[in-house]
Amino acid sequence: MLSAVLLLLFGAALQAAGAQQKVEALSDAEVEKLRDVNREPGERVMVFVKFLDDRTDRIRDLTAKPRRPGREEDIHDAMEQFVSIADDLEDNLDEYGTRHWDVRKAVPKLSRALDRWATVIRSPADDVRYDVSRRLALEAIHDLREDTDKLLEDQKTWFAAHPPGKDAQGNYVPE
């Protein structure tokens, strides 16, 4: 009985830690940027790409500079933030696919960024302090690649069968 209670408490603590980590992945300014583009799926994807670029730039900067105390922990933190943001982006992509929101212009840009991110994530030397975070980041990139490939194909098929309307100037109008 006591072990069941301890297991339950441990699970709740892990869940709380995970939720806290997600909150800390984005700054207040970044959260505000996401709110600003909430109704513009293509732009929202590109904002996520920028945030992930920022995290990989941070990792690249940390590994390019001379070694200093705490560097490995900073790399770990940047990789953890990368994973959290990538997971949020993946959730958004799932929603856009389900609702058939047009992100056809943004998805190829995201797809090209995936290779760049994977290269940076792999670049630091092996270290036990961030090896698990690196593996999770690479898995997140792999998952995003699968999702973007599927989403792009689904969107091509959907919009071929359901072309968006155009206004008098020939601009696409949302449904």
pTM: 0.81
How many Å apart are CA 172 and CA 175, to the nearest integer?
9
One pLDDT digit (tens) per residue for the chain, 175 residues: 544 433 333 444 444 444 444 448 999 999 999 999 999 999 999 999 999 999 999 999 999 988 899 999 999 999 999 999 999 999 999 999 999 999 999 999 999 999 999 999 999 999 999 999 999 999 999 999 999 999 999 999 988 998 877 666 655 566 5
Tokens of 81: 């933030």
In a domain, 100, yes or no: yes
Domain extent, residue 130, equals 24-160
In a domain, 16, yes or no: no
In a domain, 1, yes or no: no
In a domain, 3, yes or no: no
In a domain, 36, yes or no: yes
Into how many domains does the chain fold? 1
Nearest to 151 by CA among 97, 91, 114, 92: 97
